[in-house]
Copies of this chain bind each other. A is one copy, B any other.
Amino acid sequence: MKEIIDQLIKFRDDRNWKQFHTPENLSKSIVLEAAELLENYQWGTMNENKENIKEEIADIVAYCLLLCDCYGFDIKDILKEKIEKNEVKYPIEKSYGKSNKYNKI
């Protein structure tokens, strides 16, 4: 992952784009790409386009990695921490086979 993060940062810096990459602008961009991903399923699943889905996931994760760079977060660390929190929020016996939110289980 380190290598890809370095490529993303180089891509950004080669174009002098850091000035646009405020946390707020990156967060808006993540929402926009997430909506483009969702467009594949707007009216159901008959129009999904796998090549486009690949690109939209890549865009979302790329912006997330650039946002981590802004704040000095390590993506692996924050994922591990979140999984640990979710293990507490969603104990297996209470959430097995249920899609309810943690505050409704």
Q: Which A positions have Cβ atoms within 8 angstroms of B?
A: 1, 4, 7-8, 11, 14-17, 19-20, 23-25, 27-32, 34-48, 50, 53-55, 57-62, 64, 67-68, 71, 73, 75-76, 78-83, 85-87, 90, 92, 95-97, 99-100
Contact = CB atoms under 8 A, between A and B. Distances in A.
Nearest to A45: B24
Mostly helix, strand, loop or mixed at chain A's interface?
A: helix
A11 B99 contact: no
A79 B97 contact: no
Given A58-B79, A82-B55, A35 B37 contact: no
Contacts of A53: 23, 67, 71
Given A15-B90, A79-B58, A80-B4, A32 B23 contact: no
- How many identical chains are in the complex? 4
A99 B17 contact: yes
24 contacts: A1-B1, A7-B83, A11-B87, A24-B45, A25-B44, A27-B34, A27-B38, A30-B34, A30-B38, A32-B35, A32-B39, A34-B35, A35-B35, A44-B99, A46-B99, A47-B100, A54-B73, A54-B78, A54-B82, A57-B67, A57-B73, A58-B79, A58-B82, A61-B64
